[in-house]
Amino acid sequence: MVDLAFSLAPDVAAEMRHWMAFLSSERRMSPKTLEAYQRDVAQFLGFLTGHLGQSPGLKDLAALTPQDVRAFMAARRADGIGSRSLMRILAGARSFASFLERNGKGKVGALAAVRAPKLPKTLPKPLNVSAAQQLADPELRAGENRAPWVIARDAAVLALLYGSGLRISEALGLTATDVKASADTLTVTGKGNKSRMVPVLPQVRQLIDDYIRQCPYDLAADTPLFRGTRGGPLSPRIIQLAMEQLRGALGLPDSATPHALRHSFATHLLGRGGDLRAIQELLGHASLSTTQIYTAVDTERLLDVYRNAHPRA
């Protein structure tokens, strides 16, 4: 649970607990997502405590006006919070408000009456094919003062992100049982605890096998496949740091993150004639509209080629 710098009204505190239990059991949200939701709603309630002069109860929430919500947004803007963070906080508050309404605890109409801040449309920034392939080459880090198994581990993780389109959490969530010897597919568990099958290229399989052979820890069944230097589960931050070093070596921009490899996977497949529905399944997107952003990415790449190559561009 998130530590609060103020006391919630008893009826709101009780409903917050019920909401957290609902998100955990029914929506199957991860502990980190639950913590983020609770923290965001706590920000909103904390502001209202000062704004109203008391911790708001359920009746106070139902009596909120659009002006109260706009005052919250203005206060957060003054604190330097950007549009994306503010939108996330409002989304959490609205989710809690919807839960209250569904359970007959009152309607917080003011939240629905205020528009969320607009976000500038941004497209994923994929790497080019050569850079994406180089990032998973252990030879690129051969001069580093690191154990060979650590370099092999990082290469295997990065290869899975690009070669199979995995999220970093999905790659690090793999167990030794998941990676069956010589299999050309993997079953991964993604968002919403949903499983899907993804292909494993021979080159990626080789990097995984190289890591398993060199890893000094016992990779027993149903234990994490990728380990930290002390033997515990590998932290995503370690892969992010490895990526920072590699993009420096290759002269890549800051947008070259581990998640950019997943973007690159989708964009490169689409650019070579991949079916959008198939790419949706491979990425584990619940909605095709989420995957369709890659059509815009590929169109932008084609336009760049046209502008740079056409004699009259």
List where CATH 1.10.150 sits in the chain.
10-113
Which one is predicted more confidently, 76 or 313? 76
Q: For 176-188, what is the mean pLDDT?
A: 80
Q: For 33-40, what is the mean pLDDT?
A: 88
CATH topology of domain 10-113: DNA polymerase; domain 1 (1.10.150)
DSSP states of the chain as a string? -PPPSSPPPHHHHHHHHHHHHHHHHTS---HHHHHHHHHHHHHHHHHHHHHHSS---HHHHHT--HHHHHHHHHHHHHTT--HHHHHHHHHHHHHHHHHHHHTTS---HHHHHSPPPP-------PPPHHHHHHHT-GGGGTTSSS-HHHHHHHHHHHHHHHHS---HHHHHT-BTTTS-TT-SEEEEE-GGG-EEEEE--HHHHHHHHHHHHH--S---TTSBSSB-TTSSBPPHHHHHHHHHHHHHHHT--TT--HHHHHHHHHHHHHHTT--HHHHHHHHT-SSHHHHTHHHHHHHHHHHHHHHHH-TT-
Q: For 214-228, what is the mean pLDDT?
A: 92
Sign of the four-CA dihedral 298, 133, 190, 125: negative
217 in catalytic set: no
User: From the candidates 167, 227, 247, 263, which is the catalytic residue?
Assistant: 167
Q: What is the pTM of this model?
A: 0.61
Which amino acid makes up residue 24?
Answer: S
For the stretch 103-150, pLDDT in tens is: 999 888 888 888 877 766 666 688 888 999 899 888 888 777 889 999
CA distance 22 to 235: 28
* Averaged confidence pLDDT in the chain: 86
CA distance 288 to 276: 8
CATH topology of domain 129-259: hpI Integrase; Chain A (1.10.443)
> Among 43-52, 150-159, 274-283, which stretch is predicted with the lowest mean pLDDT?
274-283
Q: Is the pLDDT of residue 280 over 80?
A: yes
User: From the candidates 146, 196, 259, 301, which is the catalytic residue?
Assistant: 259
Whether the Cβ atoms of residue 149 and residue 214 lie closer than 8 Å to each other:
yes
Give me the percent of the chain exceeding a pLDDT of 90: 42
Instruction: Tell me how crowded residue 207 is: count the other CB atoms within 10 A of its CB.
Output: 24
162 in catalytic set: no
Q: Is the pLDDT of residue 190 over 80?
A: yes
Q: For 16-34, what is the mean pLDDT?
A: 86
List where CATH 1.10.443.10 sits in the chain.
129-259
94 in catalytic set: no
Q: How confident is the model at residue 3 (pLDDT cuts 50, 70, 90)?
A: very low
User: From the candidates 70, 191, 196, 301, which is the catalytic residue?
Assistant: 191
Q: How confident is the model at residue 312 (pLDDT cuts 50, 70, 90)?
A: low
Which one is predicted more confidently, 167 or 29? 167
Nearest CA among 296, 30, 309 for reference residue 173? 30
For the stretch 61-80, pLDDT in tens is: 999 999 999 999 999 989 88
> Among 62-66, 245-249, 272-276, which stretch is predicted with the lowest mean pLDDT?
272-276
285 in catalytic set: yes
Q: How confident is the model at residue 168 (pLDDT cuts 50, 70, 90)?
A: very high
51 in catalytic set: no
pLDDT given for residue 2 in this prediction: 47
User: From the candidates 76, 153, 262, 263, which is the catalytic residue?
Assistant: 262
Instruction: Tell me how crowded residue 237 is: count the other CB atoms within 10 A of its CB.
Output: 8
User: From the candidates 76, 247, 268, 285, which is the catalytic residue?
Assistant: 285
